[in-house]
């Protein structure tokens, strides 16, 4: 099955982060393909690629992130090879294998079914193809001695107008693998309120919702996600820090004031699906700097926000969940206790039933205690 993850140890050579039990809540299906698979699937449909070897193709994906227009082109390429049952099945299966190899015990995989209809499949058929791939991948991980569970999050593209249709699709497949709904795509100019009808429908069917917000736009977008989208989690939410005032009077006295949106997100424990490397790549915290050390991650964590750690697009950001935890530990000096908190936050915020979330929390606690 060809799934081997690079191993990351705690900085200084401590415990293996890779083998610790982890939860991935924000991971795009069309952002996590293996380069070799893209080459083979493209060949099967006669699609020309910008590079012919897996290594060169991986470089091409990683280099495109500096301009948003170029970055979005990389998704045109990955979605192009995910337009058939075979392509969707294979990509989903390998995605789960790769998460399993990285020590993920529960993952929510998000993707936008409406982007996969070019070759004639229906919305229901693409969701079924991905679900079959996921189930095959879960079987592969278990056959290899691992353990993993996966839920699908279906995303509606926020600049298009299929929100209600995708919300209905999510509800229709809720007992066949779909655990929640998301909106993705350009954030600025396309507030959650455009999808109000979809969010009302989801709320009336008690279907969980996460909303990309506070990544490419600010507090108003986050407020819209919470009010119009009734978001239970925020996709990234990095720019919630715009609603936090920190006044450092001297070394001993720092005063922090939260605005109403930040206060709500903190007090209601609305999870922030932070994705450190992706947030660096897309300049989502540019007002505080452009390096990971400038990311408001640590401020949010220290203030008690429910921070979770995610990969967003493993291919484009050339990363894994273990690598994200490693770079955070390296940058902010976190130890295993901190890393365990991030995983327990993710367990508590997943869209699974309560008993399942408690079981995940127990698995994480046991795994970290044995590290
Ligand atoms: Zn995302």
- Residue 307 φ/ψ, nearest 5 degrees: -85, 140
pLDDT for 68 equals 72
Contact 127, 45 (CB under 8 A): no
Per-residue pLDDT tens for 335-368? 999 999 999 999 999 999 999 999 999 999 999 9
Catalytic residue list: 215
Residue 188, CA distances (Å) to 212, 222, 236 in order: 11, 11, 14
pLDDT for 67 equals 73
58-78 average pLDDT score: 86
How much distance in Å is there from the Cα of 312 to the middle of ligand 1?
A: 5
Minimal CA–CA distance to 172: which of 182, 183, 161, 164? 164
Q: What share of the chain in percent tops pLDDT 70? A: 99
How much distance in Å is there from the Cα of 113 to the middle of ligand 1?
A: 15
Per-residue pLDDT tens for 175-211? 999 999 999 999 999 999 999 999 999 999 999 999 9
Contact 308, 274 (CB under 8 A): yes
Minimal CA–CA distance to 355: which of 89, 149, 48? 149
Minimal CA–CA distance to 19: which of 125, 104, 128? 104
Per-residue pLDDT tens for 14-51? 899 999 999 999 999 999 999 999 999 999 999 999 99
Q: Is the pLDDT of residue 148 over 70?
A: yes
Residue 34, CA distances (Å) to 5, 64, 90 in order: 12, 17, 10
How much distance in Å is there from the Cα of 1 to the middle of ligand 1?
A: 27
Q: Is the pLDDT of residue 305 over 60?
A: yes
pLDDT for 12 equals 87
> How far is the C-alpha of 288 from the C-alpha of 294, rounded, in Å?
6
Q: What's the pLDDT band for 2 if we cut at 50, 70, 90?
A: low
pLDDT for 73 equals 86
pLDDT for 69 equals 77
How much distance in Å is there from the Cα of 235 to the middle of ligand 1?
A: 6
> How far is the C-alpha of 341 from the C-alpha of 322, rounded, in Å?
15
224-235 average pLDDT score: 98
DSSP labels, 222-275: HHHHHHTS--SEEEE-GGGGGGEEEEEEETTEEEEEE-HHHHHHHHTTPEEEE-
Q: Is the pLDDT of residue 5 over 80?
A: no
**CB proximity list for 72: less than 8 A, separation 6 or greater:** none
How much distance in Å is there from the Cα of 185 to the middle of ligand 1?
A: 8
Q: What's the pLDDT band for 144 if we cut at 50, 70, 90?
A: very high
pLDDT for 193 equals 97
Q: Is the pLDDT of residue 137 over 90?
A: yes
Q: What's the pLDDT band for 249 if we cut at 50, 70, 90?
A: confident
How much distance in Å is there from the Cα of 211 to the middle of ligand 1?
A: 9
pLDDT for 293 equals 97
How much distance in Å is there from the Cα of 319 to the middle of ligand 1?
A: 14
> How far is the C-alpha of 321 from the C-alpha of 324, rounded, in Å?
5
CA 55 to chain centre: 24
> How far is the C-alpha of 215 from the C-alpha of 228, rounded, in Å?
17
How much distance in Å is there from the Cα of 251 to the middle of ligand 1?
A: 37
Contact 148, 138 (CB under 8 A): yes
110-120 average pLDDT score: 98
Contact 101, 60 (CB under 8 A): no
Q: Which domains does the chain have, with CATH numbers?
A: 22-369 (3.20.20.140)
Residue 83, CA distances (Å) to 39, 106, 155 in order: 15, 26, 16
Is this model's pTM higher than 0.85 or not?
A: yes
Q: What's the pLDDT band for 161 if we cut at 50, 70, 90?
A: very high
């Amino acid at each position: 099955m060809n799934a081997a993850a690079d191993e990351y140890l705690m900085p200084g050579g401590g415990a293996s982060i890779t083998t610790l039990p982890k939860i991935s809540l924000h991971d795009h299906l069309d952002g996590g393909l293996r380069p070799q698979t893209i080459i083979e699937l493209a060949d099967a449909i006669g699609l020309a690629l910008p590079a012919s070897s897996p290594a060169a193709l991986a470089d091409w994906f990683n280099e495109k992130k500096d301009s948003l227009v170029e970055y979005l082109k990389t998704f045109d390429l990955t979605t192009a090879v995910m337009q058939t049952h075979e392509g969707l099945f294979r990509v989903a299966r390998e995605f789960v294998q790769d998460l399993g190899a990285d020590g993920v015990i529960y993952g929510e995989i998000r993707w936008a079914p409406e982007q996969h209809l070019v070759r004639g499949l229906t919305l229901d058929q693409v969701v079924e193809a991905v679900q079959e791939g996921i189930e095959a991948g879960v079987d592969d991980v278990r056959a290899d001695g691992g353990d993993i569970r996966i839920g699908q999050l279906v995303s509606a593209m926020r600049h298009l107008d299929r929100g209600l249709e995708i919300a209905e699709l999510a509800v229709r497949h809720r007992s066949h693998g779909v655990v929640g709904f998301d909106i993705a795509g350009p954030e600025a100019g396309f507030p959650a309120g455009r999808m109000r009808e979809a969010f009302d429908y989801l709320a009336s069917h008690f279907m969980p919702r996460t909303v990309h917000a506070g990544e490419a736009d600010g507090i108003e977008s986050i407020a819209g996600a919470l009010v119009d989208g009734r978001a239970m989690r925020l996709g990234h939410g990095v720019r919630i820090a715009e609603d936090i005032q920190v006044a450092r009077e001297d070394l001993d006295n720092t005063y922090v004031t939260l605005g109403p949106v930040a206060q709500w997100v903190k007090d209601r424990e609305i999870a922030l699906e932070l994705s450190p490397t992706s947030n660096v790549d897309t300049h989502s915290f540019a007002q505080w700097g452009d390096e990971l050390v400038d990311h408001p991650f640590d401020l949010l964590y220290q203030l008690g926000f429910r921070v979770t750690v995610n990969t967003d697009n493993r291919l484009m950001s050339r990363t894994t969940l273990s690598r994200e935890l490693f770079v955070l530990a390296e940058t902010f000096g976190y130890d295993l206790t901190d890393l365990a908190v991030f995983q327990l936050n993710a367990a508590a915020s997943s869209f699974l039933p309560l008993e399942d979330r408690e079981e995940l929390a127990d698995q994480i606690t046991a795994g970290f205690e044995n590290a």
